[in-house]
């Protein structure tokens, strides 16, 4: 007689008690991954999708999503996070200083930003001497700003900056009159336009194929949890493919609203801009040598790297994407 049948018989006759019969086919054990990012919004769309459809769990992964503001690199280095999401300079800077960090996924491969200004500011050249809000003094948004300003013959030193890591805070500074212009991404670009602020232009035409945000990993954790990280990458890639299918737009909008809240029109417009127009999410999760050259040149200009710059594999571990990205269903 099978063991399970023996136990059931003993329970019926009262020879044993206090046992709960569990199903004989146990669920697959889930490996927890703690990830941190700046704030909720469209940048986290692939994770929202994978969570909604249970794709992480299908791959044996339970994901805890934490908003950590500008602290992803520091918390990742300390081991408080397994995965961190932020602008690439944060992680390369930390890795160059010896932190156990490597970038594993190229998240947003195009700058998703635009500049909006008070109605009195009509063109980029009018920003000279004005107060402008960007992400930080050594932030990826500064590199974007420099490329944007150069198109009008200006330099960063021609402006006064106020720093705020998250776009909602920069929009609030613009709306309150505290700054003359701000770098924003959807849906705050749509809100700024609706309120009559001047659209000075998108960043992308001036900084094409210049990555914005990336996923980095604590390498000590990754060495011990390779299967879990590959499971994460597989689900993430599957979500990217699903997101780019136009037939999924309405469901994608539903998912963004469910996680990040906000207005349906804003969410739909964000899809049109992020996915349809900009194609912001990297389709392969990788960074080419040519793109790395752009990134490292930017970091040299910020004083974070020196020539000759380290080889790409000092900062990037592409093995997880190469193993698992195309395994997505």
- Tell me: the pLDDT tens digits for 250-287? 999 999 999 999 889 999 999 999 999 999 999 999 99
- pTM here? 0.85
pLDDT for 30 equals 81
The SS3 call for residue 237 is: helix
Q: Which residue, among 220, 216, 185, has the nearest Cα to 93 in the 3D structure?
A: 216
Contact assessment for residue 162 and residue 131, using Cβ atoms and an 8 Å cutoff = yes
Note the CATH number of domain 31-110+210-327.
3.40.190.10
Contact assessment for residue 127 and residue 180, using Cβ atoms and an 8 Å cutoff = yes
SS3 letters across 178-196? CCCEEEECCCHHHHHHHCC
pLDDT for 178 equals 97
CB-side exposure of 24: number of CA atoms within 13 Å? 6
pLDDT for 98 equals 96
Fold of 114-202: D-Maltodextrin-Binding Protein; domain 2 (3.40.190)
Where, residue-wise, is CATH 3.40.190.10 in the chain? 31-110+210-327, 114-202
- Tokens 């669920």 correspond to 27
- DSSP summary character for residue 274: I
Q: Which residue, among 280, 281, 279, 310, has the nearest Cα to 293 in the 3D structure?
A: 310
pLDDT for 32 equals 96
Which residue numbers in the chain have pLDDT < 70? 1-29, 328-329
Contact assessment for residue 92 and residue 216, using Cβ atoms and an 8 Å cutoff = no
- Tokens 């999410």 correspond to 281
Q: Which residue, among 88, 93, 90, 89, has the nearest Cα to 105 in the 3D structure?
A: 88
Q: Which residue, among 34, 36, 6, 41, has the nearest Cα to 21 in the 3D structure?
A: 6
CA angle 117, 120, 124 (to 5 degrees): 55
- Tokens read off for 169: 């805070």
* Dihedral over Cα of 38, 278, 125, 291: its sign: positive
Q: What is the DSSP track for 5-32? A: HHHHHHHHHTSS-S-----SSPPPPPEE
Q: Which residue, among 1, 68, 58, has the nearest Cα to 37 in the 3D structure?
A: 68
Torsion of CA 171, 176, 179, 181, to 10 degrees: 40
Cis bond upstream, residue 185 (ω within 30): no
């Amino acid at each position: 007689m099978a063991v399970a049948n023996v136990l059931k018989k003993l329970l019926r006759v009262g020879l044993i008690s206090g046992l709960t019969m569990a199903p004989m086919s146990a669920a697959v054990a889930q490996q927890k991954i703690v990830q941190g990012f700046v704030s909720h919004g469209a940048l986290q769309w692939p994770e929202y999708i994978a969570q909604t459809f249970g794709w992480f769990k299908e791959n044996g992964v339970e994901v805890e999503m934490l908003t950590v503001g500008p602290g992803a690199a520091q918390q990742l280095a300390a081991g408080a996070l397994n995965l961190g999401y932020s602008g690439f300079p944060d992680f390369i800077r930390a890795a160059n200083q010896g932190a156990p960090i490597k970038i594993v996924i190229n998240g947003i491969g195009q700058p998703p930003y635009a500049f909006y200004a008070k109605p009195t500011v009509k063109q980029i050249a009018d920003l000279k001497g004005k107060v402008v809000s960007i992400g930080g003094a050594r932030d990826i948004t500064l590199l974007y700003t420099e490329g944007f300003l150069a198109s009008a013959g200006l330099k960063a030193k021609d402006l006064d900056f106020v720093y705020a890591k998250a776009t909602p805070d920069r929009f609030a500074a613009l709306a309150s009159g505290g700054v003359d212009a701000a770098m924003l991404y959807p849906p705050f670009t749509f809100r700024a336009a609706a309120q009559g602020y001047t659209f000075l232009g998108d960043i992308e035409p001036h900084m094409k194929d210049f990555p914005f945000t990336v996923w980095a990993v604590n390498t000590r954790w990754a060495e011990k949890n390779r299967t879990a990280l590959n499971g994460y990458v597989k689900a993430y890639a599957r979500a990217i493919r699903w997101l780019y299918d136009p037939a999924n737009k309405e469901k994608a909008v539903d998912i963004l609203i469910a996680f990040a809240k906000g207005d349906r029109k804003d969410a739909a417009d964000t899809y049109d801009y992020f996915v349809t127009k900009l194609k912001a999410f990297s389709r392969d999760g990788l960074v080419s040598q040519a793109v790395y050259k752009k990134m490292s040149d930017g970091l040299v200009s910020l004083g974070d790297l020196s020539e000759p710059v380290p080889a790409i594999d000092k900062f990037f571990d592409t093995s997880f994407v190469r193993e698992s990205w195309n395994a997505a269903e």
